[in-house]
Amino acid sequence: MTVFKSYSKINLSLIVIKKLRDKLHEIQSLFCLINVNDKIEVIKIREKRDKILFKGPFAKDVSSSNNSINSLLKLLRKMKLISNFYSVVVTKNIPVFGGLGGGTSNAIYLLKFLLKGEINNSILSEVEKKIGSDTRLFFFKRGFLQNLKKIIRINKKYDLYFLLVHPNIKCSTSKIYSKIKKYSKKTNFNYDKIRTKSRFIDYTSNNRNDLQFIVEKKYPIIRKLLKDISFERGCYFSRMSGSGSVCYGLFNSSKTAKKALNKLKAKYPKFWLSVAKTV
């Protein structure tokens, strides 16, 4: 048996440029992977059918038949890239429908394992069509998504500390994107703006998530939650990741993030909260 982690991502910024012909949207996003992760256990089996099991805190939110693991294995067999069948057990610690990319992450980390990292653009394009447009993000620990096909790698690592809050709202990515009425102007990424940690934080603080207003309008608790996070000591800014509904605050240390978690846990006892760090 092989066991590995499947990391989640945070969108530090997200602007929507335009709607594409294939019904997807062109976006730009500064992102990073964080240590909130699912655990994946894989073993080759003799049966002629895959055995896929989800367990853990968010397993109930995953379809047993229509999920990214099942879709990936079927696709790889159709492409004749694998011939064996597998038992895959996923411990779901990443909130589902939260904007952290958990489902895509599961598929991509399994893909890396099965193909031993030998993934060319042709394979990636087919996987992308089946799994989702955010597949490329999980090949980078941090970067700037310039468009759906190009990511600028950020080699400089800054230890960033986050408080994450999932308000038990399941956001449908397609429905959130369907509500977009106004598009943003495309930007050119300037590496000089993030050359030091203080510049990086200033740059991200002055950015935004274009989808946040749409979600706040539909779910007013998101606006209140983001405001409460931003008022906590040591918080640089608060924002929503992806199409939601996970909200986060970027903090100046793990200590201040943990203190904020304890305070907000008392205020929102039914919400999922976690302190996270860049990987």
The 10s digit of each residue's pLDDT in 17-45 is 999 987 899 999 999 999 999 999 999 99
The arithmetic mean of pLDDT across residues 231-253, rounded, is 98
User: Which residue is catalytic, options 9, 92, 141, 228?
Assistant: 9
Which range of residues forms the domain containing residue 149? Answer: 2-153
Mean pLDDT (the chain, rounded): 96
Helix (H, G, I), strand (E, B) or coil at 77: helix
Do strands 161-166 and 142-147 pair parallel, antiparallel, or not at all (unpaired)?
unpaired
Band of pLDDT at residue 85, cut at 50, 70 and 90: very high
User: Which residue is catalytic, options 38, 92, 134, 141?
Assistant: 134
The 10s digit of each residue's pLDDT in 172-220 is 999 999 999 999 999 999 888 899 999 999 999 999 999 999 999 999 9
Q: What is the CATH number of the domain that holds 74?
A: 3.30.230.10
Helix (H, G, I), strand (E, B) or coil at 52: strand
Six-digit token pair at 43? 């073993």
Which of the listed residues 99, 123, 153 is the one where a domain comes to its end? 153
Q: What is the CATH number of the domain that holds 238?
A: 3.30.70.890
Which of the listed residues 153, 177, 212 is the one where a domain comes to its end? 153
Percent with pLDDT over 90 in the chain: 95
The arithmetic mean of pLDDT across residues 252-271, rounded, is 98
Give pLDDT, residue 114: 98
Which of the listed residues 128, 153, 178 is the one where a domain comes to its end? 153
Burial of 180 (0-12, 13-18, 19+ CB in 10 A): middle
Q: What's the CA gap between 142 and 158, in Å, rounded?
A: 10
Give pLDDT, residue 22: 79
Helix (H, G, I), strand (E, B) or coil at 118: coil
My answer on whether 45 and 93 are in the same domain is: yes
Question: What pTM value is reported for the model?
Answer: 0.96
Say how many domains are in the chain.
2
DSSP H or E stretch at residue 204: helix 197-205
For 56, list phi and psi in degrees, rounded to 5. 100, 180
My answer on whether 96 and 210 are in the same domain is: no
My answer on whether 112 and 13 are in the same domain is: yes
My answer on whether 184 and 250 are in the same domain is: yes
The 10s digit of each residue's pLDDT in 144-169 is 999 999 999 999 999 999 999 999 99
Helix (H, G, I), strand (E, B) or coil at 38: strand
My answer on whether 58 and 196 are in the same domain is: no
My answer on whether 140 and 201 are in the same domain is: no
Active site residue 156: no
Active site residue 9: yes
